A and B are shown apart, each in its own frame.
Chain A
Amino acid sequence: MTLQIQNLGRRVGQQWIVRQLNLQVDDGECVALVGPSGCGKSSTLRLIAGLDAVSEGEIFFDQTKVTHAMAAQRAVGMVFQSYALLPHLSVTANLELGLRVRGVRPSDRQQRIQAMLDLVQLQDRADVLPAQLSGGQRQRVALARALLRDPEVYLLDEPMSNLDAQLREELRPELRRLVLNRQKPVIHVTHDQHEAMAIADRIAVLHSGRIQQVATPAELYHHPETLFIAKFIGRPQINCLRPSNGVVCAVRPESLTFASEGIPCKLISREWLGSSQLLYLDSPQGPLRLSCSTAVDIPETIHVSWKASDEHHFDAASGIRLP
């Protein structure tokens, strides 16, 4: 199965929420949609699910055009940020509702639900209300419901943003085991770039309703197409030097090294991060961030430099990468 999106757009009133969006997701591939709040990533997901009307462009599941098909006819498995579990129904009843609506025979339903509960390891929570579950358990119920749908496409809308950081990390392998190994296209919306880089094969960065770049995490990190992406991807954030002649030069903090010659800097503050440390410096070129090992000694007088190959150049006006 291949999910193909061509020139997709959605307009509300005079405002384009999503515009000229092109994307292809293959079987077993996971594409993360990232971007700041209001960039259109959730809207894109809703267009693919069929929850909102498409204003222009097309959506294909393989060769089938589903642009204007009903949501129910698209066979998408969606996990909502809020999990969208019915508060008055038990875990089993929540899972059963979809099967019932789709007309699955009662005996089959029980069997499939049992199997699914085994898979998500919630056998002992079957008769409990969602309110009595932990956040991670609720998320697994939501995943289970999407899996029971037997979907052609998985759509995950910030599935882990309501969980604490530790739980998120714990659940990533779970997500891989349950969803990513199913050999179906997966679209994963998140505002957490670490999550996106950890899970996704490719990342699409959205800004103001448009895709700025779709690439593997490494490519995105090393060859950001725009200044926006350079700033958005990678923490600590990339250093942007003062523009000169309409060009912005940007260097990642870990590319900066101490040197006997180079730009003279003054240490403002430092953050200790365990395996590394982050120095905040002031230089004639503007403030700089330098990331280095904690083993490194910081000299009395600081001079920093970097390799020319580590520089990224962007047009100051348009933010587009310069060769």
Chain B
Amino acid sequence: MIALLLVPALLLLVVVFVGPLFRYAWLSFHADSVITGLIAISNGGANWLRLVQDQRYWQDLFQTLRFAGVSVGLELVLALLIALLLDQRWRGRDVVRTLALIPWALPTTVMALGWRWIFNTPYGPVDHLTKIIGLGSLNILGDPSLTWMATVWADVWKTTPFAALILLAGLQTIPGDLYEALRLEGGNALICLRRITLPLLRPYILLALLFRLAQAFGVFDLIQVLTGGGPASSTESIALYAYWNALRFLDFGYSATIIMASFILISLICVIAWIALQLIIPTHSKSRGAVSS
């Protein structure tokens, strides 16, 4: 009977997730483009061969990983600080909690347009600021070595509140007397953070990490609006490349191949990130019988 109750949820999963995935897998072994008159014709592994040889795909992959890694890393650190701050009691905290969610609630395209204006050289406020502090005019959106950082910045600004919210929820599950017991022994804030907060927050950090990694790996609208993938394709992401192949070039076979390859990669990355986190934040020190230093 209980299995029966799961049917709607499973059906939904199949329709919105498994179905398209199979469709893409099938399509990735077909030519289906404006050349074939939008008819799928089996072409063996030609798409996959093309992908392996496509330097642009590998460059985009590198850029996407760089973007995802740096922005998610920064976000988690910032989110943890914000969550710790919002977990304390202080006047006006509830107002700040609500305000902190605004970036997250803004539509990405609106936010990206805003940042395009803010980073505009020489009329945007950031350009004025860098001139005042002596860095000069930086041409942030027009210099391939800087622009990707601007995309990271915009992403961090937008999604840190989301990660902070998850971590805050986690913080509130940690009983206060754990901290008090350690305080009695002379544990300061840093020791408490390392010995109590981080280990107990681990499942929540993991949740935020996986959520955000998957999201950042598929970054699309932010980059499309902020930089269009430029300059010199230095900010082009895999999702943008896949999207253009589908909707601009009408090359659905190759687009499906990019999507499938990326799906496999992001799955791998999530597994690796999960294992890495196990190593960074120690879990039970069962075998050693002592706290590792």
Contacts and interface: CB of A to CB of B under 8 A. Distances in A.
A102 B290 contact: no
B36 interface: no
Interface stretch (B40-48, B192-200, B222-230): B192-200
Contacts of A78: 180-181, 184
A211 B231 CA distance: 75
B248 interface: no
Residue from the set B191, B283, B284 with the largest chain A CB neighbour count within 10 Å: B284
A116 B196 CA distance: 23
A126 B285 CA distance: 12
Contact of A93 (B175, B186, B187, B291): B291
B286 A84 contact: no
B290 A96 contact: yes
A126 B289 contact: yes
A232 B196 CA distance: 40
Contacts of A51: 180, 183-184
Interface string B271-293: 00000000000011111011100
Nearest to B181: A84
Contacts of A87: 200
Given A80-B180, A129-B284, A100 B291 contact: yes
A50 B184 CA distance: 8
Contacts of B182: 97-98, 101
A101 B283 CA distance: 19
Nearest to A49: B184
Given A93-B290, A93-B291, A102 B186 contact: yes
A82 B174 CA distance: 12
A97 B191 CA distance: 10
A93 B289 contact: yes
Nearest to B183: A71
Contacts, number: 80
- Determine chain A's interface SS by DSSP, over half rule: loop
Give the contact-size bracket for chain B.
20 to 34
Interface string B190-220: 0100011001101000000000000000000
A145 interface: yes
Interface in B154-192: 175, 177-178, 180-187, 191
A72 B177 contact: no
A27 B177 CA distance: 27
Contact of B184 (A76, A81, A96): A76
A80 B177 CA distance: 7
Nearest to B180: A51
A90 interface: yes
A92 B183 contact: no
Given A72-B185, A72-B186, A101-B185, A92 B180 contact: no
A82 B177 contact: yes
B291 A84 contact: no
A96 B195 CA distance: 12
Contacts of B284: 88-90, 129
Contacts of A82: 175, 177
B191 A101 contact: yes
B286 A145 contact: no
Contacts of B283: 88
23 contacts: A72-B183, A78-B181, A78-B184, A80-B180, A82-B177, A84-B177, A84-B181, A88-B199, A88-B200, A88-B283, A89-B284, A90-B284, A90-B289, A93-B285, A96-B290, A97-B182, A97-B187, A97-B195, A101-B182, A102-B185, A127-B287, A145-B181, A149-B184
Interface of B: 175, 177-178, 180-187, 191, 195-196, 199-200, 202, 283-287, 289-291
